[in-house]
A and B are shown apart, each in its own frame.
Chain A
């Protein structure tokens, strides 16, 4: 870990030397982050068995801006898990590693049967930018997604939409260069290597804003096959209309396949917001599954959901500036998977928030449609 940090700061020193001409601004260091406490209760289908989990979670974001053009960022995430959830999950600490990261910048400080303390350097990059160019080198998140729920265009670093406690989402080790032409056309070139065999992802993005629409085209190489995609966001009357599609050409042992996500949102009067989205995964499941344990639920940019058709409806209501609630309902026809996902947020004090979140999973089993499990989360978050 120390060796990698040294390399990073050497690279940064070189970049800084090249940015000296504008170093007239005062040095500026900003530090922020949060401490969260998350209590988890996991029930089985009939609420007969309960497993509880506890997590104390700290994120520390440090940003140093020695000049107007140069920025260095590091963000460190530390988590202390304890309780039954750790105990009953074999190899709990080993599962905390982000597989997309090539460099091992994590540290497991404590690994006991019911107590794990884990730290990961989530971001570590140097960024140089002027009016036309932006270059970012190091551990970062390359976020090419446009829609809210599922992002087929997010081919560098996908995430699980149910993991509400990981707002920042995982990153990758790589580089990104962006250029804005005077016509308004934006291009971006990004590269990452996960360190695994056939683990390279490289792509170019072209983006324009025209006719009140943000539009993008993506073409590149994903692991062992070429890929091409497109995305957009704009209005249809007063509603928002967004979409993303990504096609992966045949390569290795896989045939050509694709993901498409379509989404509409609208803000109604009195603080009601509604969003409805559809995801189609051409490789997804479309038959009732008798045993979900044997299905590969590992999500990737190629596999944003294990199921073929997915419909997600979300509504959010702000009751007062302090209190809001939302409910999401996901249904996957074919497998008849249903996820119910309500949540309530309350701002207890200027920097203290509490969230109560529920997730219930129901599936078609043989002839029955039944509950699979239920999870309840209570989270306190103090931001600084």
Chain B
């Protein structure tokens, strides 16, 4: 068996490389998200002449379950989003109403930021929905990184045609990402900063999403605190909970 594996490694080096790449992405993803994750964050939309800030709490479990609750600004306080597998609901406290969102909403901007709904609630999986290849090395802020190319699998519900990510070799931190559209054009660039110990692990705590063709425009996401791997029951991610959580 061992020989077969060695033989395969010689015959199909690309396969092994892609296995490695996938493993690196899996480790980085696992590190950032844990099995479950509870976080409080600030999202700042920055434009050349103005900026707006919102605060929210998030709960996530795997790829299928997520909840976001807005804490500010005042007019949006209490608005919540729930994702269960492919379904997304929005709770509007002022209307006292749960609205089921069409699937086409996922690939569009979330609350006017440069993040899509998918970026926030992670409908697609960076591990399962892409084919990964290491295409080089780089250094970001004196951290040595793998450069990995991710091409979505044909059936995956992904809006990008290609994603290039740079992952720190030592701590498996995703430090830089570039997102390309169907025509291969660069659409968004994401940079990560402020690497800190959060709960039980070292992670970047500030992310910048920069649209390629819009000067002076970006969205920042800053984690104020994160708790990893606290048990969250699946029933927590329910439309009833969305109404009462705060």
Q: Mark B102-132, 1 if CB is under 8 A from A, else 0.
A: 1111011101110000000000000000000
Who on chain A is nearest to B74 by CB? A383
Report the bound CA distance from A152 to B102 in whole Å.
21
Residues of B within 8 A of A141 (CB): 96
Closest to A69 in B: B244
How far does the alpha carbon of A146 sit from the alpha carbon of B99 in the complex, in Å? Answer: 7
- For B109, the chain A residues whose CB sits under 8 A away are 271, 318
**A321 CA to B113 CA in the complex, in Å?**
7
Any chain B CB within 8 A of the CB of A17? no
- Is B194 interfacial (CB-CB < 8 Å)? no
> Is A239 a contact partner of B74 (Cβ separation < 8 A)?
no
Name the B residues within 8 Å of A71 (CB-CB). Answer: 244
The answer, yes or no, to whether B184 is at the interface (CB within 8 Å) is no
- Asked whether any CB of chain A lies closer than 8 Å to the CB of B101, the reply is yes
Range of interface residues on chain B?
20 to 34
Contact A143 B97 (CB under 8 A): yes
Cβ of B47: which chain A residues have Cβ within 8 Å of it? 320-321
Contact A180 B86 (CB under 8 A): no
Q: Which of B50, B74, B104 has a CB less than 8 Å from the CB of A268? A: B104
Q: A212-B86, A383-B73, A384-B74 are in contact. Are A350 and B52 (CB under 8 A)?
A: yes
With contacts A131-B235, A180-B240, A320-B47 taken as known, whether A350 is within 8 angstroms of B95 at the C-beta atoms is no
List the A side residues contacting B246 at CB < 8 Å: 30, 65
Number of A residues whose C-beta is below 8 Å from B?
Answer: 47
Q: B99 to A148, Cβ gap below 8 A?
A: yes
B108: chain A residues within 8 A (beta carbon) = 267, 269, 271
- Cβ of A266 and Cβ of B74 under 8 Å apart? no
Q: Which of B87, B95, B104 interacts with A238 by CB under 8 Å?
A: B104
| B102 adjacent to A266 (CB under 8 Å) | yes
Contacts of B101 in A (CB 8 A): 240, 267
A232's nearest neighbour on chain B, judged by CB, is B100
- Of A32, A167, A169, A238, the residue contacting B74 (CB under 8 A) is A32
- Return the CB mask of B10-34 against A: 1 if under 8 Å, else 0: 0000000000000000000000000
**A168 touches B (CB below 8 Å):** yes
Contact A167 B94 (CB under 8 A): yes
Best-surrounded residue of B45, B104, B105 (most CB of chain A within 10 A): B104
**What residue in chain A is nearest B53 (Cβ atoms)?**
A350
Question: Which residues of the other chain, B, contact A265 by a CB distance below 8 angstroms?
Answer: 102
CB of B170 closer than 8 Å to a CB of A: no
Complex partner residue of B112 from A146, A167, A318, A353, CB under 8 angstroms: A318
A32 to B72, CA, bound (A): 12
- A235 close to B102 (CB less than 8 A): yes
A320 to chain B minimum Cβ distance, whole angstroms, is 7
Question: Please, how many angstroms separate the alpha-carbon atoms of A266 and B101 in the complex?
Answer: 9
Inter-chain contact A321/B96, CB cutoff 8 Å = no
Complex Cα gap A237–B53 (Å): 34
User: Within 8 Å CB of B2, what residues of A?
Assistant: none
A322 within 8 A of B: yes
Closest Cβ–Cβ distance, residue A299 to chain B (whole Å): 18
B75 within 8 A of A: yes
Which residues of chain A are near B235, meaning CB under 8 Å?
131
Q: Please, which residues of chain A bring their CB within 8 A of the CB of B75?
A: 34, 351, 353, 381, 383
B206 interface residue per 8 A CB criterion:
no
- In the complex, B77 has a CB within 8 A of chain A: yes
Contacts of B52 in A (CB 8 A): 321-322, 347, 350
Q: Are B100 and A242 in contact (CB under 8 A)?
A: yes
B105 adjacent to A168 (CB under 8 Å): no
Contacts of A212 in B (CB 8 A): 85-87
Bound Cα distance A143, B98 (Å):
9
* Contact of A145 with B by CB under 8 A: yes
0/1 string, A203-242, CB within 8 A of B gives 1? 0000001001010000000000000000001110111101
Q: Chain A residues with Cβ under 8 A from B94's Cβ?
A: 167-168
Residues of B within 8 A of A186 (CB): 240
What residues on B are CB-neighbors of A146 within 8 Å? Answer: 100
Q: How far is A148 from B96 in the complex, measured between Cα atoms in Å?
A: 13
**How far is the CB of B111 from the nearest CB of chain A, in Å?**
8
A321 and B104 in contact (CB under 8 A), knowing A129-B244, A148-B99, A168-B94?
no
A242 / chain B contacts, CB cutoff of 8 Å: 100
B 233-246 binary contact with A (CB < 8 Å = 1; else 0): 00100101000101
Interface flags, A179-221, vs B, CB<8A=1, else 0: 0100000100000000000000000000001001010000000
- Contact yes or no, A266 B104, CB < 8 A: yes
Shortest Cβ distance from A127 into B: residue: B244
Contact A238 B45 (CB under 8 A): no
A134 close to chain B: CB less than 8 A: yes
A350 touches B100 (CB 8 A): no
Complex Cα distance, B50 from A322, in Å, reads 10
Interface string of B30-50 (1 = CB under 8 A from A): 000000000000000101001
Q: Is the CB of A240 within 8 A of B112?
A: no
- Contact of A233 with B103 at beta-carbon distance under 8 Å, contacts A271-B109, A322-B52, A383-B74 already known: no
Evaluate contact between A320 and B95: CB separation under 8 angstroms.
no
- Please give me the 10 A-B residue pairs with the lowest Cβ-Cβ distance, nearest first: A321-B112, A240-B102, A383-B75, A238-B104, A233-B100, A267-B104, A383-B74, A267-B105, A238-B103, A350-B73
Given A267-B108, A320-B47, A321-B113, 18 more contacts at CB 8 Å? Answer: A32-B74, A141-B96, A143-B97, A146-B100, A148-B99, A168-B96, A180-B240, A209-B87, A233-B100, A235-B102, A235-B103, A265-B102, A266-B102, A271-B108, A318-B112, A322-B112, A347-B52, A353-B75
